[in-house]
Amino acid sequence: MSSPDSLQVLPVGAGYGIVVGIGGFFAALMLGITYLQNRYTLYSTEQSEEFNTASRSVKPGLIAAGIVSSVCFCSHFWRTGTDRMMYSGLGQPLFSPHPPSPIPTALVDRFGTV
């Protein structure tokens, strides 16, 4: 499965165990926090109002910061994914050096002419 030159630190089963174990830990942690919130605060997670609006306690500046952060995060990964695809050699066989239009050229290069 792996090449002799690659370094495998953990077996695959251990990797899955770590991911599932950490996921289970954080799920249990969130369940505990939710239980404590329902029991000891005025905020209840039993209605959709709390989930949808955060009890209407989130200020517009925090909402704007969240939106800007999400847009920057998505655009960063879109750009780095595109760069990785074009410059790693994975996407290069699909495109000729100077295609007039990438989609038709990619289709002709991949499947040939009809």
- End-to-end CA, the chain: 38
Do both 79 and 105 map to the same domain? yes
Report the residue count for the chain: 114
Do both 68 and 30 map to the same domain? no
Do both 91 and 79 map to the same domain? yes
- For 102, the token pair is 């990438």
Confidence of residue 10 (pLDDT cuts 50, 70, 90): confident
The span from the CA of 99 to the CA of 107, in Å, is: 11
Q: Is the pTM of this model over 0.95?
A: no
Segments forming the whole domain that contains residue 18: 8-57
Do both 84 and 40 map to the same domain? no
Name the average pLDDT for the chain. Answer: 76
Residue whose pair of structure tokens reads 């949808």 in the numeric block: 52
- Are the C-beta atoms of residues 55 and 43 closer than 8 Å to each other? yes
Whether 60 shows a pLDDT value over 90: the answer reads no
The region that residue 66 occupies, defined by phi over 0 for left and psi between -120 and 50 for alpha, beta otherwise, is alpha
Say what the pLDDT of residue 99 is: 47
Whether 69 shows a pLDDT value over 50: the answer reads yes
Q: What is the per-residue pLDDT across 97-106, written as a single tens digit (0 to 9) for each? A: 554 555 666 6
Do both 49 and 62 map to the same domain? no
CB neighbours of 37 closer than 8 A, spacing ≥ 6?
Answer: 43, 44, 45
Do both 46 and 94 map to the same domain? no
